[in-house]
Chain A
């Protein structure tokens, strides 16, 4: 697997910024390999850290050229995701930039 030779993409989001995971379900209409957990689709969170850029796994899985995508560590409140849980508990999840939008 070879990363694209282009310069690493500039991150669109910064630590502390509020974001939302896209409420998209493309796996319903095509066979895909996604690294965005279903339970976080449409959920608001906060960028904790920019983790760097990595070849897009959605392309690697099908042996297509995989351009680098920025990966973030995004923090979510845990109770609203499930409608249960202890206040203050959180989920910290790696999400690629093309799955995030401004919240």
Chain B
């Protein structure tokens, strides 16, 4: 995301804040640098790798659904100090959609920064009230008989969707499966497909 250079006053204020926190022993500069690096490292590719592994490895799938935090750590993600991660399993009868109506809670540790639409008042209000209309605008129409479960991320957990493995991906490698996954699939606004590229239009 393009951004303007910070104003000198802001930088001066930040420097004073960091110095005050360090003086009180609340946080060290090294800890701040480490968290900053982890935040910038976090990207939807991590979540995609987790889902792809769950599709090919039943033991990892079980771990992912039982303890998302441990499953992220098994992928090399530093989860210390991060909110616990929960993973929602889509089935032939049930599809999950994640929203945070109160603010913009998002599984940043495994998906990186939330997209702007996820933080918009429109998505936050409409995802709980008319979720099927919201999905239709993404071009997502659930097959007949599939129930929709909207997960409002209101408190201490962060939630990611484990979508159904698309038909036509039999025999694909874990890397090929990860490459067809996009952030939108892990929030639940779109369904992954073997025939469609991962990137959103």
Contact = CB atoms under 8 A, between A and B. Distances in A.
Contact of B149 (A54, A57, A90): A90
B132 A86 contact: yes
B89 interface: no
A91 B150 contact: yes
Contacts of B148: 78, 86, 89-90
B78 interface: no
10 contacts: A37-B101, A51-B86, A51-B157, A71-B156, A71-B157, A85-B129, A90-B149, A92-B151, A94-B156, A95-B155
A35 B154 contact: yes
B102 interface: yes
Interface in A43-62: 51-52, 54, 57
B120 to A, nearest CB: 17
Nearest to A37: B101
Contact of A82 (B86, B129, B149): B129
A96 B128 contact: no
Interface residues of B, number: 22
Contacts of A52: 84, 156
Contacts of A27: none
A19 to B, nearest CB: 15
Given A82-B129, A85-B130, A89-B131, A95 B149 contact: no
Given A37-B102, A52-B84, A89 B150 contact: yes
Interface in B127-179: 128-132, 147-157
A95 to B, nearest CB: 7
Interface centre among A54, A75, A93 (most CB of B within 10 A): A93
Contacts of A94: 152-157
A36 B129 CA distance: 16
B130 A54 contact: no
Contact of A37 (B86, B88, B132, B154): B154
A89 B149 contact: yes
B147 A51 contact: no
A91 B152 contact: yes
Interface in B40-75: none
